[in-house]
Amino acid sequence: MPPTKDEFRKAMGRFATGVTIVTTGVDGEVHGMTANAVTSVSLEPMMILLCADKGADSHDILSRAGVFAVNILSEDQEEISDRFANKETGDAHGLDGVPHRIGKTGAPILEGTLAYVDCRTVSEQDAGDHTIFIGEVVDAGFEDDGSPLLFFGGQYGRMA
């Protein structure tokens, strides 16, 4: 018998991940969402993927935009992660008051993160209640100093 959704969620919660804010924009509307289902796919060409819940506020904008940036958070950015993970606040996923610039693809790049990867969407794959977006890397940047914000067992963590 397969696991329940709760058992599956708890099992996958034992996999430690980094925390990112995925940003995108189209027609003057910019959005961000907290995501930890992000990984590199290929070096030639350089590609990454992200999984987005079809019910997320940013999902349809992400699909329409055809571009996205993955902003990798540092350990002192828990508050911004919470803001973009919150589904209850009206404009929680807008970028008002969040320092950012527009990247090469037109996707917003958040200031003060450990790194960013700016991508053009090359493929969308239906995957149950999520969509897998595959992006070809157009630009990337990183800081030499700092530690990542981690997520494990439903809680934030930091490197020892």
Query: Can you give the residue ranges of every domain in the chain?
Result: 22-148
Q: State the CATH class of domain 22-148.
A: mainly beta
Q: Does the pLDDT of residue 56 top 90, yes or no?
A: no
Range 108-119 average pLDDT: 97
Q: Report pLDDT for 58.
A: 84
Chain mean pLDDT for the chain: 92
Q: Report pLDDT for 57.
A: 79
Burial 86-114 (b: 16+ CB within 10 A, else e): eeeeeebbbbeebebeebebbbbbbeebb
- Give the span between the Cα atoms of 33 and 84, in whole angstroms: 5
Count of H-run helices and E-run strands, the chain:
3, 12
Task: Note the pLDDT tens digit of each residue in 18-48.
Answer: 999 999 988 888 889 999 999 999 999 999 9
Q: Report pLDDT for 160.
A: 79
